[in-house]
Structure 1
Amino acid sequence: MSSASRTTLRESPRGRPAGTALRRQTRTGWLFASPALLVVAAVTVFPVVFSLVLSFWEIKLDYGGLRLGSPTLSHYESLLSSPEWYQALAFTLGFTLVSVFLELVIGTLVALVLERLGAARGWILALLLLPWALINVVAAQLWAYLFNGTYGAFSWLCEQLLGSRPDILGEPVPAMAAMVAVDVWKTTPFVAIVVLAGLMLIPGDVYEAAEIDGAGPWTTFWRVTLPQLRPIVAIAVLFRILQAFGVFDLPFVLTQGGPGTATQSVAILGYRMLFQNLDFGGGAAVAVTTAAIVMGCCLLFLRVFRAQVDEEGKA
């Protein structure tokens, strides 16, 4: 009998063939995991499918509730021809790119400083976590008081320095800048902690080898530290893109999407179409289109990242 046949007939310690034991373990695993999978399907898969269906059907709202009419593409046609949609998309993209870039740069600098600290690192980490631990609505409300044009601290400071009280949240550009500043203040600690974890995993002999080769601090950072951090940074950026692109509570509390629609994100636009205008099909189209854009951006980001890793591996 060949070795392959003996492997096939090999039995488990309890006397059953190994394949049978493996199948039984697999069924047991699915049995225990099925409640959690059902919960995940109920809170994620069903809403996504339901939104997709609503976006492609005519919706009739009466005293009996929602009723599906006939299939249609009118929701997407109206959305793609709406200037409000493009304005909300432009604001969301700009907010995401600027805030994530600033958080990545500042968070990396903070992580580099924390890596060199000794006993005080724990206390500083605890202080850094305070903004991240605050509920978004509470943090946004606190900053709304600070930016208030009548009694806000920033308006008072501008009056002392410039001689006038600017309405920070009442003008488009200052309102956008204030929103980015609040998001950077709140989320930079998350990026810093993720990057710090990556720095702690870099072996020390890599730096010793770079020092022996005569590399300075700047060269060591770009040629040694940054390549080692690339997977960790990719994860942090991916998480932040997903969160920033779906921003709702920050502009909703600070400006209600104003002045006008200058700070209206795609999430606020979908909320208004769904719950204020009762345009369920249009709101579902906003949600589906936004999800498709985010998924496409994330897949492109992961593809570029994988290509870079493959090139480094070949080199």
Structure 2
Amino acid sequence: MALFCRAAYLLLKPSRPVAACISAAARQYSSGGQYDYIIVEKRGEKQNVGFIQLNRPKALNALCDGLMSEVGQALDDFEADGGVGAIVITGSDRAFAAGADIKEMQNRTFQECYGGNFLSHWNRVSTVKKPVIAAVNGFALGGGCELAMMCDIIYAGEKAQFGQPEILLGTIPGAGGTQRLTRAVGKSLAMEMVLTGDKINAQEAKQSGLVSKICPVDQLVLEAIKCGEKIASNSKLVSAMAKEAVNAAYELTLAEGNRLEKRLFHSTFATEDRKEGMSAFVEKRQASFKDK
């Protein structure tokens, strides 16, 4: 198993220099941003779901620095877009992301990594205020697994595989793999995955709590978009508060978390959306939130 994992991981490396990863025309988001490594659109009936598709097919969407910078730029655009209430990140049917680009990292020195705080900006996905859904088909290995875990919700295709095989390359996860995986699946399974490099399939990921839903491969993105539309129909302001409260549960004690939750709950009473939501409930009508 370990030998297969190592072989598979190494086979997922890009076969040519990073600068030549995508020869097709740059993709364009409606705001005017140009992208070489990702496709950026709005999806949903009301065009209220931001959509980011990793687009390095020949490298199985291996994460290079340029790709992650573009993801950050797209997230910034969606964060500033008042019409977007949720964001979906996906890859291809074969690979969500096969890992970090090993060729890009191979010759880096400790001084370069430490002095330049290598991978620091990759964390942007986890700091977005709007809810982010990962739609994972195929391989989500190494940095790909870490990218999925930075998202708020993970939907998996039936053939998805998750793993942190960095140990087989003589290193360890560097974008949150040891931390988020442990919080998601518990110490024992996380330790086994990190120390052996073994993968888990979609069913095992669902049972362990890493993903919330398994979908047929051809329905995965549609289901993620539907989830995004449902989230986007609520108050974007209050959704951000709810996301902050849930994320705090991983970092605070129960008492501290409850105090933060109570403060955020009280804060909703200063919003027009809380008044509208409760009034709509009492009047038995659909709420019309204004994100205020």
Same topology, TM > 0.5: no
Q: Which structure carries more helix by proportion?
A: 1
Bigger-Rg structure (1/2): 1
Q: Which structure carries more strand by proportion?
A: 2
Tell me: higher relative CO, structure 1 or 2? Use CA pairs within 8 A at least 6 residues apart: 1
